[in-house]
Structure 1
Amino acid sequence: MTLLSTKGLSRNFGGLKAVHNVDFELQVGEIRAIIGPNGAGKTTFVSLLSGRIAPSKGSVEFLGRDITREPAFKRVRQGIAYTFQITSVYFKLSAYENVALSAQSALTRAKVPFARLHSEQIAERVDFALRRVGLQDRAAARAGELSYGHQRLLEVAMGLALEPKLLILDEPTQGLSDGEIENFCALVREIAETATILLIEHNMPVVMQLADTITVLNAGEILASGTPEAIRANPAVQAAYLGS
């Protein structure tokens, strides 16, 4: 079943074609990786999917519904969560409070009456999300005092608290130690049991072990798409990105 698709999706910045005429399909339950050289249009592409920027032309559908002109907050309510390439947390709030904001948003989306948004309901979701990313012992710490790697994991916890249908992760292993990366890979596999994952990642060992399918962007266009084995062996991908 197709979860998300685009047709002719494009975004221009002046004369620069950051994303050009992209047709793309993402299936329910899939772990899809997007790779490509710097400047290939990866972050612009997922920003179009999440509604953070508007397309110059083309369309985006989510669960068969056209969401091309819907803003990011409405897409979040439909189940699209996006963690940023550069951390986007509330530095003066605690880790717990950051995740609680997402948990409250999810309960609101589920149409739980405001009067019933008891702290116990929110606490349950927050505790669950923090445990999944391994930050339960840092719940009281201010987000700004966490290491960069832990801020990345906090953002993932905020995404999980939204209970998304689609979780978009932009460079999630950046700043993580080898041990944290190993734990992160296990986490992604766990998340994929209940949500679809779209992953932008430069760490190729992570991509190769996690992705069901890899899509390669180059100069704003899809260069290739296929299994990790097919992508590794693709001469065009080797020339543009992977090397020989």
Structure 2
Amino acid sequence: MTLLEARGLQRHFGGIPAVDGVDLTLRAGEIHALIGPNGAGKTTLVSLLSGRITPQAGRILFAGEDITALPAHRRVAKGIAYTFQITSIYPRLTVFDNVALALRDSRDLPRAVGAALARTGLQALAGETAGELSYGHQRLLELTMGLALKPRLLILDEPTQGLANEDIAGFKALVRSLVPETTVLLIEHNMEVVMDLADRITVLNFGRSLASGTPAEVRANADVQAAYLGGDDAEA
């Protein structure tokens, strides 16, 4: 079943096309990776999907509903959660309070926060100040805040950036545990993580979709090799 379908999305900045007629289909319960070289338009595309910016053309359907004009907070209510490329937490608050803010409308707040922290293994750090956590734990806290919303679609923007190898292994195990209840859209520059986790991959280049398919299909694609896999790994 298709969970999200985007067709013909466009967004230009100063006349330069950051996203130029992109189509994207996310199936319910899959891990879908979005890759591409620096400046390919990955972060702009997910900002369009999450409602942080508005497309200048195109259409976005979520569970069959047109959400193209909905602002970000309305999309969160529909079941779309987005974690940022740069860690976005409340550094002066405790770990518990960070998650509580994400769940402020929950009827049983302590129980909901406790369940979210337990899922990501942060329950022992509930009373710690978020800004004093290690970088890996801060990234995990942000992921916890997203998961606490019990999203149908979780968008992760460069989640392994700056993580140690042992943290990456734990991250991969956590993401695998989310499906099929949660669909994951993963924007990631670490190709080992992408090839290990993704059911399907979409490759962007110069704001357009270059290829889409299984990891094996994408790896074997000559255009992808020339544009991305054969060159220097990059981020966008």
Deviation at 1:15, TM superposition (A): 1.4
Contact conserved, 1:149 with 1:174, CA < 8 A, in 2?
no
Q: Is the 8 A contact 2:30 2:180 kept in 1?
A: no
Match in the other structure for 1:111: none
The yes-or-no answer on 1:194 pairing with 2:184 is no
| 2:184 pairs with 1:203 | no
Question: Is the contact made by 2:99 and 2:145 (CA closer than 8 Å) also made in structure 1?
Answer: yes
Partner of 1:123: 110
> Which residue matches 1:136?
123
Is contact 2:9-2:19 (8 Å) kept? yes
* Deviation per residue, 1:86-142 (Å, 9 max, x gap): 11111111111011111224x3xxxxxxxxx3xxx2122212222222222211111
* Runs of 4+, deviation exceeding 3 Å: none
What is the TM-score of this pair, normalised by structure 1?
0.92
Q: Which residue in the other structure is 1:2 paired with?
A: 2
**For residue 30 of structure 2, what is the aligned residue in structure 1?**
30
Query: TM-score, length-normalised on structure 2?
Result: 0.95
How many percent of aligned residue pairs carry the same amino acid?
A: 62
Deviations 1:3-29, CA, capped at 9 Å, x for gaps = 111111010001110000011111100
- The letter for the 1-side match of 2:11 is R
Deviations 1:129-169 (A, max 9, x none): 22222222211111111122211111100001000000000
Corresponding letter in the other structure for 1:194: E
Counterparts of 2:39 and 2:120 in 1: how far apart (Å)? 30
Q: Would you say 1:180 and 2:167 are equivalent positions?
A: yes
Whether the aligned pair in 2 keeps the contact of 1:31 and 1:211 (CA below 8 Å) is yes
- Aligned twin of 1:166: 153
Shift of 1:40: 0.5
- What secondary structure sits across from 1:104 in the alignment? coil
Partners of 1:66 and 1:50 lie apart in 2 by 13
Aligned pair 1:81/2:81, yes or no? yes
The structure with the greater share of residues assigned to helix is: 1
Please state if 1:231 is matched with 2:218: yes
Q: Contact (CA 8 Å) 1:133, 1:184: kept in 2 or not?
A: no
Cα offsets for 1:22-74 (capped at 9, x unmatched): 11111100110000011100000000000000111111110111111110000
The alignment yields a C-alpha RMSD, in angstroms, of: 1.1
Question: Would you say the 8 A contact 2:28–2:180 is kept in 1?
Answer: no
Aligned counterpart, 2:203: 216
* 2: CA distance, partners of 1:237 / 1:89: 35
What does residue 234 of structure 2 align with? none
Structure 2 gaps, min length 5: 232-236
Q: Distance in 2 between matches of 1:43 and 1:128?
A: 30
- Equivalent residues of 1:30, 1:192 under 8 A apart: yes
Aligned counterpart in structure 1 of residue 144 of structure 2, from 146, 153, 157: 157
